[in-house]
Structures are given as C-alpha cells and as structure tokens.
Structure 1
Amino acid sequence: MKKIPHVYVLIFCIIIFSAIATYIVPAGNFEREVVDGTEMVVPGSYETVESTPVGLFGILKAIPNGMIEMGLIIFFIFIVGGAFSILKGTGAIDAAIGTVAKKVQGKEGLLIPVLMTVFALLAASMGLLEEFLPFIVPIVMLCLALGFDSITGVAIVMVGAGSGFAAAFANPFTLGVAQGIADVPMFSGMAFRIPLFILVLTVSILYVYRYASKIKENPELSPVYEIDQKRGEDERISLDDLESLTLNHKLVLATMLLGFMILLYGVIQQGWYIVEIAALFLGMGIVGGLIGKIKPDDIAEYFIDGAKAMVMGALVVGLARGILEVLTAGQIIDTILFALSNAVEGLPGVFAAMGMFVFQTFLNILVPSGGGQAALTMPIMAPLSDLIDVSRQTAVLAYQLGDGFTNMITPTLGPLLAALALAGVSWEKYAKWILPLIGILSVIGLGAVTLAHMIQLGPI
C-alpha cells in the first residue's frame, strides 16, 4: 500500500491548487451588510471583479499570514501542552488515572458511552467544542492505561462533541445564528432534532466502542500502535508500577478540578475564549507545579518540553489556514459560493434539499467556522429555499448537518487539528480511521434532510 503523504505536503499541495484556481476561476464578490452585528451576504448582489491571481510569492506569504491569523490557537496549543507537562511532572495525573483505571478494570467500555454523551450534550446545548481541548490529554492517557489507543481518546472527546455539534438542538452559535438569519423561531424544530441527535450520537458511540473493543483485544491493529508503544516507554502509565495518591497529588488534582470549574463558569457565564482559557491553564500549571513541589527552574523545563511536543500539530493549524488566505486573496470564494448556489437552485424539490446538504458539506472545508458559514450562506439559502419549495427549517437543517459532520475530519478546522496535536495523532491516520463513520453519518444526514423536506418541516 502506498504511503499517505505527510499532512504538511497534502496541505501545501492544496494551497498550490488553490493558487492555480485563482488564475482560472473568475474573481467575484457579493455585497455584504451588517445586520444586528452580523455581516451577511446580500442575495443577488454577486458581481465579477478584476482578477487578482495569487503567484508564487503569494503562496509563500499565505503560510505566515495563516500562522498570524491562527496565532491564538497555535499559542493556545503550546500553552496547554506546556501546562499539562508541568501537571504531569507532579505525578498526580498518572496516579489519578491509574487509580481510576484499576477501579474500572473489567468494565472499561462504560467510559466511552458516558463521556461521549456528556461531551455531546454540552456541544448540542451550548455549542462547546474548542473548550473541550483541555480534556484531550488526560482522556488519551486514561485510554492508554485501560488498553485502548490514543485514537480512542481523541474520538471520545472530538467525535462525542462533534456528534452533538452536528445534530445540535440548542447550539446558539450555529443553529441559533442560522435560524435567526433565516427568520425561523430560535431553537424551533426540537421535536425533529432531538431524535436525530440521539440517532447520530448512538451511531457514533457504537462506532468508537466497536473500534476500542477491537484494539483492546489486539492492540497491533491500531493505526497508531507504534506511536503508542513508543509513548509507553517514556510516558504511558503502567498500572502495576503506579504509586498511590499522596496528599500532594490530591492537592494538585484539587487545583485542576477547581481550574475546570472556573473554566466552565468562565465559558458559560463570562464568555471566555482562547486567551482566557490559555491564561487559566498557564496559571493552573504553575500553581499545580508549585503545590507538587517542583522547583521553578524545573517548572520552566517541563513547560518547554510540553510545548516542544506540540510543534508539529500546532503549526499545521496555521498551515491549513493558508488555503483560505489564498482563496481570499484571489477573490474566488464568493465565486465558488455563487456557482454552487446556482447549481442547487436548478434542482427540483427533494434533490434541491439534498443538494443543499452536499453544498454545505463541501463549503465547510473552505469555511470551517460554523457561525461564519451560517452568515455566509443562509442569506442566500433561505430565500433560495422559498423559490424551490423547500422549507426554511429544512434549509437550516441542511446547513447544520453539512457543517457539523465534516467538522470531525476537515483539515481546516483549528480545534480538530489542535486536539490531534495534543494527542500526538497525525491527521492522516485519524482521517483514515474516521472516514467510514463520516460516510455513515452523511447517509443519515441525507436521510434526515429528505425526511424534513417530505414532511415540509416547519418552524415548530
């Protein structure tokens, strides 16, 4: 079997392809207006403009520009990685995970549905996704201790949250924005969305559980077996050799618990985002290190070591952003949007609804921001749905599912790449693992959109 190219090579090839497209695809722009603080595309305002193709130097500039644009997430990865390295250096995480692992031996599988359901509910109701990144490292470590692999750890968090994010019933940042733009009652359609949420989450849990069970029986089947084995030599927890929880360990864990409580309060009540969360974890790492009796110089060394381990995954976030930088500089994103919207408009009834889902799925690769995609497409899709006898609620559903499912695999989504970086899993291996699930969920999405159109899903 041919070796899959390095993710940096894949992304750079896409950047080059995008630059070539700026010489072929006509440049164009939609007019935009700000409505209630949200910038929206003005339907029917598309017009061609003078081409601004991206040359060789533009390709090279796109990469540092992408690094700059994604600087918050990149440094967030470094800081969280460094902070967890300090906390891990106290021995508290290893001791705590070992204690839990010993207690759940023989019933390890319960962790998968329970944790995935928790992450899914928080994503579906509050739109949390990036906020789960701090849980990646401890859950991956726990999975390794229980005989699973690092992909299982990533999946518990990102597939659990991704399922909830995609089939959300009260996500204010995607569903709420889209319904507001489409002039549909906020969070309406729950009678349809809640059963869909349960179906999507159940399928995702079964997929992860089946995989994890197979890996536990035969660890060599894991795509990351060699990586996890190497990790086993220097950082993986051995249940037999773990020391018991000491008072210092418990105090460090109490510091972490307090930190997570502050995190939830800050995110939900104070609107915290990347900077505040990174600052919290930096403080948690320093305080935890001091409580764990680590010398200040050693705290600095642990932080540097943790940040070093994040370099590859952190930088790929900025590299992937370079794709959007090229398409924006070449002014062809709106042209792509215009062409795809015209293609959907020409389809009859149920095929138009399915076309909307497919359109949003592929657009999410270019515009991975859920709220940004809603602001970009719903001003066009909402009136378009009126013209082709598709309910606006169905158009919102097509956007929601198209945006959500690809969030679990697209290489342009910062939080996914950050999660993989924190877990030490390459995007190539993860993508190959999750692709069948994305296919299954996409079939469910097409079925849901088709059913919504057939029953003319309304605003309630």
Structure 2
Amino acid sequence: MCKENISEKKKFTMPHIFIILYAIILLVGLLSYVLPAGVYDRVADATTGRMIINPASYHVVKSNPTGVMDLLEAFPNGFVDAGYVVVLTFCVCGGFYVVNQSGAIGGAISWLAKKMKNRGIWIIPILMITFAAIDCFIGMCELCMVYVPIILPLMLALGFDSMTACATALCGSAIGFTSAIANPFTTIIGQKIAGLPLLSGWQLRLISLIVVGLAGIVYVMSYAAKIKKDPTSSIMYEEDLVLRKELETSSNQEKKMTGRQKLAGIAALVMFVVMVYGVFQWGWDTPEIGGIFMGMAMVSGLISGMRPNEICSTFLNGCQQVLLGALIVGLSRGVSVVMSSAQITDTIIHNLATVLQNLPASVTSVGMLIVQTIMNFLIPSGSGQTVVTMPIMAPLSDLVGVTRQTAVLALQYGDGFSNIFYPVSGYFMATLALGHVPYGKWMKKMAPLFVIWTALAAVFMVIAQLIKWGPF
C-alpha cells in the first residue's frame, strides 16, 4: 500500500501551460539582465516598402532590464498585442456553436460519415493536401481555426479522435506553409529582400513539398488508424467522450431537420464560400473573417427560428468553450512583448549571426536552419521573421559560401515547422483550444513528427549547399 502511494507521488505531472509560458517569460526577463540591449536601424526596402534591418547598423543602447511589473504586465500587454487572434478565436467558435445548435451541421456530418464509413481514413490525406495547397500559395495558417470546428465532428463520427482533427488541419497547413512554392509571407518576401527572381528555385521546393507532405500524411494516418482500431488507445479518449455525446445529440436532432434548418445550413455555407473567396481575391484577413462568422451566427440563427436572445446566449456558450485557449494566446504573446520592451531581440539576432559566420562551411546551411528555428520562437510571425532576419542572412550567406536561395529555404523551414509546436504561436494554441486538445498531449503525440520534419529539412539544406542551389 505504501509503495503504491510512493509511486503515485513520484509520477510526473505536466505543468499547466500557464506555468510553462510564465517560466519562459521569466527566463526572457532574466536574460535582459545578462544580455546587452541593442538594436538594428530599420530602413524602408525599395522593392517591398517594408521596414527591414540594416545588417551593418547593430549598436548597443541603454539597458532596459525587465522589472517585476514588466513580468506582471506581460499577460495583459500580450493579450492586447494578440488582439485579432483572440477575437477571431471567439468569433469562430461562437459562430460555429450557433450554427451547430441551429441544427444545420449534424445532418451533413451524418451523411458524410455514412458515405465514408469503410474508407474514412482517406479523408485525412484529401483534407491535408487541400490545406497544404491553400497555404502553399496564400500562407494563411490562421485558417486552421476555421478548419478544426468543421472537421472535428466528422473525425469523431468516423471513429477517430480530436487529436486527429487538429493534426489534419495543423500538419496539413504546416506542410504547405513551410515547403511553399509561393508563400507570400516567407518565400516571396524573402526572395525580394535577397534580390532573387520571384518564385525561382521552385523545382527543389516542389520536391521538398512532396517529401515533407508524404512524411506528415503517413504519420497522421498511422496515428488515426490506431485510434480507429482501438478508440480506448486515444490519448484524448476521456475528453472525446463528452464531445461524442454532443455529436450524437446533434445527429439525432438532424434526423428531424426542418426546412428552416436546412436553409440555415445553406446560408452558413454560402457565407463560408464568400469568406474563402474574400481571402483569395480581396485580401481579407482576421477582421473580415471574424466578421463573417459573426454574421453567420446571426443569419443562421434567425433563419432556423432561434430568438435573438437565444442566439446571444448560444454564442457566449461557444466562446466559453475556448476561453482557456484565448487566454493562452495572450500569455504566449507576452514573451515577445517582454523581449521587445527589454530590447534584446536584435541582440540575440546579432549573436546568432556571429556564431553562424564562424561555423565550418560543411554545416553552415544546417546552422542557418537552426538559427531560423530559434528565431521563430522569438518572432512568431512569418513576415515578421522574414523582414528581420533576411537582411542579415542574405549578405551573410555570401560570406559563408551558401547561396541566397538556400538562405531563403532555411527561413521557410525554420519558420514553418515549429509554428505547430512552439507554445508562443498564437493561431496554433487557439486551434488546439478549438479542438479541445491540451498542449501537453499534443506534444506527446506529435513531437516525433517535428523531429522527422527537422531531419528532412537538414537533408534538403545539405543538398542545397552541395549543389550550390541558385540562381545565386
């Protein structure tokens, strides 16, 4: 009896995500007392018009170490800084909750589940390839927050779990965003800053896209197949029991769908198509997407016969489902807020570039990959990381014998894969919240994929260096 108690006490418990994030913020705060504050001058790029770093302008400035109040204010300041992502999280979940409660989703899910009952596993590669194709050309990873509420009920109905739903959306998006042929936020801006012809080098990127994509799809399908065979083996089994009961209730309601409920579903679908078209053709971003989901809730709710007060209370109930995730998004953004306030971000960039310059030529390209992966933790934004690092990495690549095309590839790999593993990535944490998947459980099952992807990235970086991948 005593031995059992001792073993229970020694059992490791994953710290709450708040503890992990505050520990990171505290570490960054301590670094502000060790590292000198420093900045690069920013100048407007003649081609893109964006503010970029002058690589020869780094200079030390007056130290501004993080104080106690800075640490305490990291959460509210981060919440404000990540405002659009937080609001979009609430709008998406609240909007879908209203549409679902109106009885307009369960019927379609039930129909698809019946049609794909014996070949449901193939919905995973179909969806992952679709999501990858979208982010390969528009780079809108935030759309994962839209995908998950749609595919989660379908995955559960087909016998998979919520982890599979999140992995299908997040990994599919990461494949396209990372190995993109024409991602406007990394590939295109990076090539402009590096002075490369736009979309040049697409052949190797296409090969990378296929290899990385196959690795990700096989990994997710293998996991899903195990869950299909034995649902109790799912790391999300207990959490999904509640979701499955809600799904069964919704499906039962859908068997008696009224004409108004069907019309509400059609209205929601039309608005969704308008949203997708707006993203592609009109350059819509998070405010417009959030607005569409607000409109979706109101229109679908009213058409289905819900009263205005009922729509509001249902929307709030949906927002409550992702309250924790929204708070996590704000806290994760607090890391970059503290670093910017202490002015140590540019210092870290400068020191990493110095280390990279002193590496042996044979591993320089892999060193670039490592540097960009580290930088993505500090600057969790594709375009942000591009305009900060490429003005340094492009001329640095000339000095260390690596082509500028290879330097852009290092940016893509370093920025892309870690987006769905770093807790400072806002859309990633919000997507997990929408899928009801805890960060610790996600890492336990998906961290091996990050290792596989990183190893593949290193191989492609070495190949690019060996063949002197151009045009220069």
Structure 2 partner of 1:48: 60
Partners of 2:154 and 2:57 lie apart in 1 by 53
Q: Does 1:332 align with 2:344?
A: yes
Structure 2 partner of 1:439: 451
8 Å CA contact 1:31–1:46 kept in 2: the answer is yes
Match of 1:407 among 405, 410, 419: 419
Partners of 1:319 and 1:93 lie apart in 2 by 33
Q: Does 1:69 align with 2:81?
A: yes
8 Å CA contact 1:144–1:236 kept in 2: the answer is no
Partners of 1:165 and 1:84 lie apart in 2 by 25
Match of 1:24 among 30, 34, 40: 34
Q: Secondary structure at the match of 1:173?
A: helix
Partners of 1:254 and 1:350 lie apart in 2 by 58
Structure 2 partner of 1:427: 439
Letter paired with 2:112: V
Match of 1:205 among 208, 217, 234: 217
8 Å CA contact 1:215–1:221 kept in 2: the answer is yes
Q: CA offset at residue 246 of structure 1? A: 4.2
Partners of 1:122 and 1:67 lie apart in 2 by 28
Q: CA offset at residue 253 of structure 1? A: 2.1
Structure 1 partner of 2:99: 87
Q: Does 1:2 align with 2:21?
A: no
Structure 2 partner of 1:141: 153
Q: CA offset at residue 244 of structure 1? A: 5.4
Partners of 1:398 and 1:70 lie apart in 2 by 26
Matches within 5 A, 1:204-223: 204-223=216-235
Match of 1:256 among 254, 268, 280: 268
Matches within 5 A, 1:30-429: 30-35=40-45, 36-235=48-247, 243=255, 245-429=257-441
Deviations 1:320-373 (A, max 9, x none): 011111111111111111111001001122311110001101110111101110
Q: Secondary structure at the match of 1:33?
A: strand
Q: CA offset at residue 42 of structure 1? A: 0.6
8 Å CA contact 1:95–1:244 kept in 2: the answer is no
Letter paired with 2:424: T
Partners of 2:100 and 2:269 lie apart in 1 by 14
Structure 1 partner of 2:5: none
Q: CA offset at residue 16 of structure 1? A: 0.9
Partners of 2:225 and 2:332 lie apart in 1 by 33
Q: CA offset at residue 230 of structure 1? A: 2.3
Letter paired with 1:203: A
> Compared with structure 1, are the counterparts of its residues 240 and 234 closer, same or farther at alpha carbon in structure 2 (3 Å cutoff)?
closer
Deviates more, 1:254-263 or 1:282-291: 254-263
Q: Secondary structure at the match of 1:174?
A: helix
Partners of 2:329 and 2:193 lie apart in 1 by 29
Q: CA offset at residue 241 of structure 1? A: 7.8
Deviations 1:401-448 (A, max 9, x none): 111110121111111111111111111111221100000000000000
Question: Which consecutive unaligned segments of at least 5 residues does structure 2 have?
Answer: 1-10
8 Å CA contact 1:144–1:237 kept in 2: the answer is no
Letter paired with 1:258: V
Q: Secondary structure at the match of 1:92?
A: coil
- Aligned residue pairs total 460
> Compared with structure 1, are the counterparts of its residues 310 and 58 closer, same or farther at alpha carbon in structure 2 (3 Å cutoff)?
same
Deviations 1:112-138 (A, max 9, x none): 010100000111122121134212112
Letter paired with 2:432: L
Partners of 1:135 and 1:9 lie apart in 2 by 29
Question: Which consecutive unaligned segments of at least 5 residues does structure 1 have?
Answer: none
Q: Secondary structure at the match of 1:102?
A: helix
8 Å CA contact 2:402–2:468 kept in 1: the answer is yes
8 Å CA contact 2:185–2:386 kept in 1: the answer is no
Q: Secondary structure at the match of 2:454?
A: helix
Structure 1 partner of 2:460: 448
Deviations 1:194-221 (A, max 9, x none): 1110111111000000000101111122
8 Å CA contact 1:174–1:371 kept in 2: the answer is yes
Q: CA offset at residue 239 of structure 1? A: 6.2
Partners of 1:168 and 1:226 lie apart in 2 by 37
Deviations 1:380-411 (A, max 9, x none): 00000000110000111111111111012111
Deviates more, 1:251-260 or 1:402-411: 251-260
Q: CA offset at residue 238 of structure 1? A: 7.7
Q: Does 1:15 align with 2:25?
A: yes
Q: Secondary structure at the match of 1:456?
A: coil
Q: CA offset at residue 295 of structure 1? A: 1.6
What's the % identity of the aligned pairs? 39
Partners of 2:408 and 2:223 lie apart in 1 by 32
Q: CA offset at residue 236 of structure 1? A: 5.1
8 Å CA contact 1:141–1:237 kept in 2: the answer is no
Deviates more, 1:424-433 or 1:308-317: 424-433
Q: CA offset at residue 94 of structure 1? A: 1.3
Letter paired with 1:24: V
- Name segments (4+ residues, structure 1) moved above 3 Å: 233-242
Deviates more, 1:32-41 or 1:180-189: 32-41
Partners of 2:471 and 2:438 lie apart in 1 by 42
RMSD: 1.5
Deviates more, 1:5-14 or 1:253-262: 253-262
Partners of 2:157 and 2:362 lie apart in 1 by 48
8 Å CA contact 2:131–2:173 kept in 1: the answer is yes
Partners of 2:367 and 2:342 lie apart in 1 by 26
Letter paired with 1:336: I
> Compared with structure 1, are the counterparts of its residues 237 and 397 closer, same or farther at alpha carbon in structure 2 (3 Å cutoff)?
farther
Letter paired with 1:55: G
8 Å CA contact 2:181–2:202 kept in 1: the answer is yes
Deviates more, 1:392-401 or 1:222-231: 222-231
Partners of 2:137 and 2:354 lie apart in 1 by 33
